[in-house]
């Protein structure tokens, strides 16, 4: 058994432990899932040197369980708070710039990351310790997108590495995937702080405001266009509303697929986006984990992913 597979199985086992805080799946659902879980994972096959093939179930059968719903017409944009933020329109990325192979995708992602690290388009650029462009497989079929970096991410320049990130790792492992197979990023690339003069304070986090999101969104849009994933999981209401361009509550947006439309980039292939709870919210409200797990299972079914063996 390969080390990576063994580690994944251990992650999943830990994920299934009946510890309130870390367990996403309630006991009854676990028992049912164990009874019906398919047991053979397909042997991994290299798609290219950067992409690890997911273990897949028969695609047509599972895809049929996950109907997708096109987005309704987006509502008129609400006025945004733009204090201190640059307001010029983002230059559009021509679809012809979209790269084709993983190496080209990585090169474009590196270029976007450099721009992000140099960005001073809003006040967060002056108060961050590190910009957090995002990381993962440049040819990922699945992206996870959160709202913005917190304390740990600001200190290390990497997304989702704090407590919420550890739960996200378990959610990813429960889907039979690893961080290296997906791409993880945020809408805002710099740490939004309640008190921007004190980046060393814990609990100094806030959601990015509409002006910060408006200025930063060109980066996530270009990252999505570069990676060209098939699916995106939006983590939490801020990311869901920004990406689905809808002001409805997370409760109204989650539990179904939406077709992604971007402002500055024409996508070459359709991208389905599904919203679920932010892992930080799941840590605060463990009773939401069963709904989050149901959301993730919709993505797994659409992707033809099998649950890993315990």
Residue ranges binding ligand URA (CB under 6 A): 146-150, 153, 159-160, 162, 164-165, 186, 280
Q: In sequence order, which residues have a C-beta less than 8 Å from that of residue 186 and are 6 or more positions away? A: 132, 134, 145, 146, 147, 148, 149, 153, 159, 220, 239
Contact 296, 254 (CB under 8 A): no
Smallest distance, Å, CB 269 to ligand URA?
26
Q: What residue number has its CB nearest to ligand URA?
A: 146
How far from 302 is each of 183, 240, 273, 298, CA to CA, in Å?
18, 19, 11, 6
Contact 234, 142 (CB under 8 A): no
Q: 47 or 166: whose CB is closer to ligand URA?
A: 166
Smallest distance, Å, CB 176 to ligand URA?
22
Smallest distance, Å, CB 300 to ligand URA?
22
Assign 3-state DSSP to the chain and report helix, strand, coil percentages, each to 5: 40, 10, 45
Smallest distance, Å, CB 179 to ligand URA?
12
Q: 150 or 229: whose CB is closer to ligand URA?
A: 150
Q: 56 or 117: whose CB is closer to ligand URA?
A: 117
Smallest distance, Å, CB 147 to ligand URA?
4
d(C-alpha 145, C-alpha 46), whole Å? 25
Q: 186 or 204: whose CB is closer to ligand URA?
A: 186
Q: 153 or 169: whose CB is closer to ligand URA?
A: 153
């Amino acid at each position: 058994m390969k080390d990576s597979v063994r580690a994944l199985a251990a992650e999943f086992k830990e994920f299934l432990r009946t510890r309130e805080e870390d367990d996403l799946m309630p006991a009854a659902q676990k028992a049912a899932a164990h009874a019906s879980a398919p047991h053979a994972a397909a042997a991994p096959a290299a798609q290219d040197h950067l992409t690890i093939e997911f273990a897949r179930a028969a695609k047509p059968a599972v895809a049929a369980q996950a109907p997708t719903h096109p987005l309704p017409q987006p509502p008129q944009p609400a006025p945004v708070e733009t204090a201190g933020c640059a307001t010029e329109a983002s230059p559009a990325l021509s679809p012809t710039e979209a790269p084709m192979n993983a190496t080209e995708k990585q090169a474009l992602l590196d270029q976007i990351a450099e721009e992000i690290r140099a960005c001073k388009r809003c006040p967060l650029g002056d108060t961050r310790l590190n910009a957090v462009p995002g990381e993962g497989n440049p040819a990922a079929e699945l992206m996870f997108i959160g709202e913005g970096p917190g304390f740990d991410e600001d200190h290390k320049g990497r997304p989702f590495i704090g407590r919420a990130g550890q739960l996200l790792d378990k959610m990813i492992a429960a889907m039979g995937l690893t961080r290296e197979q997906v791409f993880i990023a945020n809408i805002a690339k710099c740490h939004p702080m309640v008190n921007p003069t004190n980046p060393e304070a814990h609990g100094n986090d806030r959601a990015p405001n509409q002006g910060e999101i408006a200025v930063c969104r060109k980066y996530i849009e270009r990252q999505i266009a570069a990676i060209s994933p098939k699916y995106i999981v939006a983590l939490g209401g801020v990311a869901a509303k920004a990406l689905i361009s809808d002001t409805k509550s997370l409760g109204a947006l989650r539990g179904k697929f939406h077709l992604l439309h971007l402002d500055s980039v024409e996508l070459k292939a359709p991208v389905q986006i599904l919203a679920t709870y932010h892992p930080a919210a799941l840590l605060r409200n463990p009773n939401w984990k069963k709904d989050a797990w149901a959301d993730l299972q919709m993505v797994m079914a659409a992707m033809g992913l099998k649950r890993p063996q315990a």
